[in-house]
């Protein structure tokens, strides 16, 4: 079976880099949504807890249940809100505010320009009034930036809008509220950090998708993906490998199949432009549902040890490479 290793030292190195920016471990919320970006939510939660992280962010209550024992607070970005001592829920619309059960802990998401979700700025007063009237437990106010990882000044007008939101919330009398707006890219770009929490996702896993011009935060990939040998044969020049026979053997070579395929979340992509593994071997021919072929006889091969590099090859981003990996692949901390 293919397997994933999670490098504890690299993870803690990344958290150290982030703590240098926030000034404190207490201000880091690790974003563990979507199975911890494919890394394995339980494994990453346990490692975070051992490091001393107190806060986490997940996709919904179902994910929160798996890890809430490791943290003081867990914010669910979506899904149905539930009354819970540890979990809070982002509310994204007036509709949700009007029908949220009264005993749930809520964090108000404000749309400062991304126009994906959150209440509109014009709705802020109404939202705060409704929260007061309904006696909801507002514990946080948040926003998300659309262009933090783009080379432009776009980020700044959105940040200005969030400053206005903060002021409005405080003036409305909400005092025990945490404010947060930074993802990894925003944190890496900012010179000073003065909010209560950073929602750090991709950075904790070891990737920085910011253009090079924005400083040099050194991060180390946490995840490596391995596959195991299934069968080996020696092929003569002219023989062909895999579906469609896309790969033609140039000279006598040892070819093995390894147990990773698009069924495990590895991209099938284009056999004419083969991916080259972390060990420098090109995949031979087409990727099957459960197998790839390599000119190699080793028992185990490292397919990927840097998702950002792989992402460049496939025309995507590190987030998609790791998140696509099946939750059924065994994960092991090293």
Ligand X SMILES: *Cc1c(COP(=O)(O)O)cnc(C)c1O
Q: Is 184 in the site for ligand X (CB under 6 A)?
A: yes
Q: Is 17 in the site for ligand X (CB under 6 A)?
A: no
Q: Cα separation of 283 and 272, whole Å? A: 10
Residues in contact with ligand X, shown as a per-residue x/- string from 71 to 90 under the rule CB under 6 A: ------x-------------
Work out how close the CB of 101 gets to ligand X at its nearest, in angstroms, rounded to a whole number. 22
Q: Is 183 in the site for ligand X (CB under 6 A)?
A: yes
Number of residues located near ligand X, criterion CB under 6 A: 12
If DSSP codes are grouped into helix, strand and coil, which group holds residue 140?
A: strand
CB nearest ligand X: which residue? 201
Q: Is 199 in the site for ligand X (CB under 6 A)?
A: yes
Query: According to CB under 6 A, which one of 32, 202, 294, 310 is a site residue for ligand X?
Result: 202
- Residue of 21, 27, 33, 109 marked active site: 33
User: Which H/E stretch holds residue 13?
Assistant: helix 8-22
Of the candidates 296, 302, 292, 229, the one whose C-alpha atom is nearest the C-alpha of residue 265 is 292
Q: Is 200 in the site for ligand X (CB under 6 A)?
A: yes
Of the candidates 140, 139, 158, the one whose C-alpha atom is nearest the C-alpha of residue 148 is 158
**Residue found by looking up tokens 């924005």 in the block:** 214
| Long-range contact pairs involving 83-86 (C-beta distance under 8 Å, separation at least 24) | none
Q: Is 31 in the site for ligand X (CB under 6 A)?
A: yes
Catalytic annotation on 33?
Answer: yes
CA distances from 23 to 118, 156, 301, 302 (A): 28, 22, 39, 36
Work out how close the CB of 249 gets to ligand X at its nearest, in angstroms, rounded to a whole number. 42
Q: Is 144 in the site for ligand X (CB under 6 A)?
A: yes
Cβ nearer to ligand X, comparing 207 with 291 = 207
Cβ nearer to ligand X, comparing 144 with 331 = 144
Q: Tell me the window of 117-125, 195-203, 254-262, 303-311 that interacts with ligand X (CB under 6 A).
A: 195-203
Catalytic annotation on 243?
Answer: yes
| Long-range contact pairs involving 268-277 (C-beta distance under 8 Å, separation at least 24) | 269/314, 271/242, 271/244, 271/246, 271/247, 272/246, 273/313, 275/310, 275/313, 275/314, 276/313, 277/301, 277/302, 277/303, 277/304
Work out how close the CB of 202 gets to ligand X at its nearest, in angstroms, rounded to a whole number. 4
Interface residues toward ligand X, by CB under 6 A: 31, 33, 77, 144, 183-185, 199-203
Active-site residue set: 33, 243
């Amino acid at each position: 079976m293919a397997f994933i290793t999670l490098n504890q030292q690299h993870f803690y190195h990344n958290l150290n880099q982030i703590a240098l920016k926030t000034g404190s471990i207490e201000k880091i919320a690790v974003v563990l949504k979507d199975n911890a970006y494919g890394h394995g939510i339980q494994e990453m939660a346990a490692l975070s807890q051992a490091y001393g992280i107190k806060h986490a962010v997940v996709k919904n209550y179902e994910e929160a249940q798996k890890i809430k024992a490791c943290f003081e607070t867990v914010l669910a970005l979506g899904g149905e809100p539930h009354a819970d001592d540890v979990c809070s829920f982002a509310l994204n619309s007036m509709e949700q505010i009007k029908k949220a059960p009264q005993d749930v802990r809520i964090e108000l998401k404000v749309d400062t320009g991304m126009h994906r979700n959150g209440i509109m700025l014009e709705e802020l007063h109404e939202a705060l009034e409704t929260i007061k009237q309904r006696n909801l437990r507002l514990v946080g106010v948040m926003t998300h930036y659309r262009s933090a990882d783009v080379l432009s000044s776009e980020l700044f007008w959105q940040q200005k809008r969030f400053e206005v939101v903060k002021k409005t919330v405080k003036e409305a009398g909400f005092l025990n509220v945490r404010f947060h707006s930074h993802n990894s890219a925003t944190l890496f770009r900012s010179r000073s950090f003065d909010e209560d929490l950073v929602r750090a996702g991709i950075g904790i896993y070891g990737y920085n998708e910011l253009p090079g011009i924005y400083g040099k935060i050194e991060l180390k990939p946490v995840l490596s993906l391995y596959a195991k040998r299934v069968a080996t044969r020696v092929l003569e020049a002219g023989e062909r490998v895999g579906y469609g026979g896309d790969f033609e053997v140039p000279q006598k070579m040892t070819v093995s199949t390894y147990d990773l395929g698009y069924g495990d979340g590895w991209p099938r992509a284009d056999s004419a432009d083969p991916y080259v593994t972390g060990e420098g071997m090109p995949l031979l021919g087409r990727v099957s549902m459960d197998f790839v072929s390599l000119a190699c006889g080793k028992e185990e091969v490292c397919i990927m040890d840097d998702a950002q590099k792989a992402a460049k090859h496939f025309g995507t981003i590190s987030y998609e490479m790791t998140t696509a990996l099946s939750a059924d692949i065994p994960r092991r901390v090293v």
